[in-house]
Amino acid sequence: MIKIFVRVLLFLRRFYRHYSRIFGLFNGFSSRSSCEDKDSIKPFYTKVIDYLYLFFVLKIFPRNYHLFRMDCRDRSSFRNYLDDPDSPYLKDKFFDVLWPRSYIFLIHDKYIFHCMCKFHGIPTPKIYGLYGKGRLRDCRSLVEFMEMERLEKVVLKPVLGLMGEDIYVISRTELRSRGNIGEAKIEVQSERIEGKDLIVQEFVNQHNAMDEINPHSINTIRLISIICKDGSVNFLAGMLRTSANTTPVDNFSKGGIVVGIDLGTGRLERRGFRKPGYGFPVTAHPVTKTCFEGYQIPFWEEVLMLAAKAQRTFYQIRSIGWDIAITPKGPIIIEGNQQWGTASIQAANGGLLTPKNRALLAQYGLEFP
């Protein structure tokens, strides 16, 4: 009786949280289309029906309608798309089944994640220490530490950071050339991130083939793995992430470009996509003019093997989105993410709910309309 009562309460909570968003249903309705063929864009009344169908039938909030190019897709294909995992009808399911809250800290806390990887022999960037209030924990300034260790660049990032927030690439040459201005720069950063624990992480030098795409950012691969009931590991989708300009952060939420990857070959798809408001689809990188279509990611087989090993290591979390960089010596895992980045990876690859992926998720009781 108590279980039935709890289920009813959960259903009512999901119902309320979903339908309370109806007042913002048509936000972004007039956004510019990402479709290449403008003649295929649906008329106004058809798009209105699409929005209502997504919201009332599929229980998907249509915030990514234009990003997914639904305004030029057949409505029957909408079932292939997954809503954001923190949406009312998915959050409890995903966190209870794929991302148990009691274990999520293993990948959320970047310091603990690094220690786990190091213990299990999974290549990951070196961590030099923890940083706060302009100094390392051993009371040395960051500038002094970089000079002593002869480090040209390091990366500062919050231990519990998300979506590329407050990530800084610190250059020793820049600090030295600016003198006191450089010291002031560190102090400004420490004020912005006051109260947060940060890690001082090794700056990864990427493979020449990745530099050809964009040498100004570490162009990472997001690869979604899932551990099956029999202990085998499979992959739901993969994409390349790169900065759209000369900034060092490749995150989609910060205006970066995402390009789908063929999982069988490691080759890029034809087009790259950006978050609405940051730009439109491109077939070549805006800075280097490198064409995406057919571009081969180096060490692809090693990438798949590394992600599979990492997924088996962090088996308590049944599906993880890995951020992987390619160095001259092979792939290296930057971090793991529980919520995948469904908007960006579906923009790059199409809907995640393919027949294969539905079967992989169904083994954990996750079923969709």
Nearest-angstrom CA–CA distance, 113 and 159: 10
Q: What is the pLDDT of residue 135?
A: 64
Q: What is the pLDDT of residue 184?
A: 41
- Superfamily of domain 105-123+206-362, CATH level 4: ATP-grasp fold, B domain (3.30.470.20)
SS3 readout for 154-211: EEEEECCCCCCCCCEEEEHHHHHHHCHHHHHHHHHHHHHCCCCCEEEEECCCCCHHHH
Q: What is the pLDDT of residue 124?
A: 96
SS3 state of residue 291: strand
Please state the pTM of the whole predicted model. 0.90
Q: Which parts of the chain sit beneath pLDDT 50?
A: 180-185, 187-188
Supply 203's token pair: 């700056």
Nearest-angstrom CA–CA distance, 155 and 134: 14
| Tens digit of each residue's pLDDT (9 = 90 or more) over 40-82 | 899 999 999 999 999 999 999 999 999 999 999 999 999 999 9
Q: What is the pLDDT of residue 180?
A: 42
Instruction: List phi, psi (to 5°) of 140.
Output: -85, 150
Q: What is the pLDDT of residue 192?
A: 54
Nearest-angstrom CA–CA distance, 61 and 22: 9
Contacts for 314 with CB less than 8 Å, ≥ 6 apart: 106, 107, 116, 320, 336
Say how many C-beta atoms besides its own lie within 10 A of residue 279's C-beta: 15
| Tens digit of each residue's pLDDT (9 = 90 or more) over 229-272 | 999 999 999 999 999 988 877 778 778 999 999 999 999 999 99
What does the domain layout of the chain look like in residue ranges?
20-81, 105-123+206-362, 127-202
